[in-house]
């Protein structure tokens, strides 16, 4: 997203990092996580061993977005401040921003534009780490309010790729969730050009439908029926799947993004020939390094051996969902939104079922008897203190305390 550099648009903070660092530390740092880091990511209490993945929690992009929000409040103590949706997908962080007097704008339909009627030229508006669509950005610029842009650099890299696809006449095939804020913002970049188009696939099964069309096994009408909510306005499969460039929502399963690119490229070669793959297909690795590192760390932890995994992060956090999905392939896995989901007295846990949208459950006796190794990781929007709180409750479920 290209924006004028003027007195109403800020992307690099306000030089107030030192002014807010103590407040940030008080709100989000955690002694237990510090202890785990300094003890080979291991904490033992009785016959319970807690193992923390070596990459977890807040990534650089999240830290930056949250810090800029704190700086914004400090810079404009007397102005009304709005946030376009959640800054990140963590309820604790968003609640804290509300406590600071930041009004989080929401809308019932994630596919619709935001209603900015409450915003006036004298207000401040923070754009979240996910970014905003080009339509929402244009609406905010038209208002003339002060904009603070916290869009993650990794997201911006994907935007540049999608924009280049549209410029060169390629349709962006995006691995993501069509309703997710980041994917909507990314997909909108294609519409900077008159004939720019996109199609969003959620997983390999949906990518295979695209391959079926490329190889003549299904019709353009069938594609439109399957992806009616996940394509650009005016999309025509017979026209707009001739030249394809692959991109991804940065928080998806990295291995699946790479597999989708490989499968689609191979499909073009089979259906239209190797020359078509060389001239009409593009794929670049736009996977976020932090997402990749957290997924790699989970695999390493699983290979070392744990009996159960607890994954901490918002139920609407895509990168947390991906981590839980990875873990669930190997061991019993509990994706909890916060430590409050773990009830030591009742010995129960409230969790999101991996891979099942909006489906939650409660489990009793979830922690195995006898010596047990509990693996822990957290999504990129989960603060360290919330990870530490979960460790405390896990140990308390077995009557143990974290002696640090």
Active-site residue list: 182
Nearest-angstrom CA–CA distance, 219 and 224: 9
Helix pair angle (181-188, 153-167), 10° resolution = 40
- Which residue stretches of 39-148 are H helix? 60-75, 91-99, 134-143
DSSP characters over 133-167: -HHHHHHHHHHT-EEEE---HHHHHHHHHHHHHHH
- The rounded distance, in Å, linking the Cα atoms of 371 and 373 is 7
The C-alpha atoms of residue 70 and residue 59 are separated, in whole angstroms, by 17
Widest CA span in the chain:
65
* Spatial distance between the Cα atoms of 399 and 386, rounded to a whole number of angstroms: 20
CA 190 to CA 186: how far, in whole Å?
A: 8
Alpha helices in 29-133 (DSSP H): 31-38, 60-75, 91-99
CA-derived radius of gyration, the chain:
22
How many helices (H) and strands (E) would you count in the chain? Answer: 15, 17
């Amino acid at each position: 997203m290209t924006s004028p550099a003027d007195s109403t648009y800020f992307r690099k903070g306000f030089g107030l990092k030192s002014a807010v660092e103590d407040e940030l530390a008080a709100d989000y740092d955690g002694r237990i996580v510090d202890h785990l880091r300094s003890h080979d990511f291991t904490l033992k209490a009785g016959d319970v061993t807690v193992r923390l993945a070596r990459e977890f929690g807040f990534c650089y992009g999240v830290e930056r977005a949250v810090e800029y929000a704190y700086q914004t409040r400090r810079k404009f103590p007397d102005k009304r401040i709005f946030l376009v949706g959640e800054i990140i997908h963590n309820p604790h962080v968003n609640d804290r921003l509300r406590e600071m007097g930041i009004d989080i704008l929401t809308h019932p339909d994630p596919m619709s534009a935001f209603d900015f009627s409450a915003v006036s030229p004298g207000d401040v508006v923070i754009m979240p780490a996910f970014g905003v669509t080009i339509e929402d950005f244009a609406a905010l610029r038209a208002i003339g309010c002060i904009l603070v842009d916290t869009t993650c650099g990794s997201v911006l890299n994907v935007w540049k790729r999608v924009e280049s696809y549209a410029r060169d006449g390629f349709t962006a095939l995006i691995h993501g969730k069509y309703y997710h804020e980041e994917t909507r913002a990314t997909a909108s970049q294609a519409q900077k050009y008159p004939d720019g188009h996109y199609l969003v696939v959620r997983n390999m099964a949906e990518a295979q439908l695209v391959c079926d069309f490329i190889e003549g096994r299904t019709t353009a009408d069938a594609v439109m029926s399957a992806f009616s909510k996940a394509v650009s306005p005016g999309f025509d499969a017979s026209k707009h799947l001739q030249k394809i460039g692959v991109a991804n929502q940065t928080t998806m399963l990295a291995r699946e993004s790479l597999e989708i690119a490989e499968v689609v490229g191979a499909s073009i070669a089979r259906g239209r020939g190797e020359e078509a793959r060389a001239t009409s297909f593009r794929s670049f690795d736009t996977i976020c390094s932090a997402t990749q590192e957290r997924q790699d760390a989970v695999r390493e932890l699983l290979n070392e051996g744990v009996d159960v995994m607890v994954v901490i992060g918002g139920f609407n956090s895509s990168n947390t969902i991906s981590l839980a999905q990875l873990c669930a392939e190997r061991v019993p896995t509990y994706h909890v939104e916060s430590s409050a989901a773990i009830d030591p007295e009742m010995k129960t846990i409230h969790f999101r079922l991996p891979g099942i949208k909006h489906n939650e459950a409660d489990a009793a006796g979830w922690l195995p008897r006898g010596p047990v190794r509990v693996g822990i990781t957290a999504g990129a929007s989960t603060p360290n203190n919330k990870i530490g709180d979960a460790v405390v409750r896990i140990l308390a479920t077995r009557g143990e305390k974290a002696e640090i």
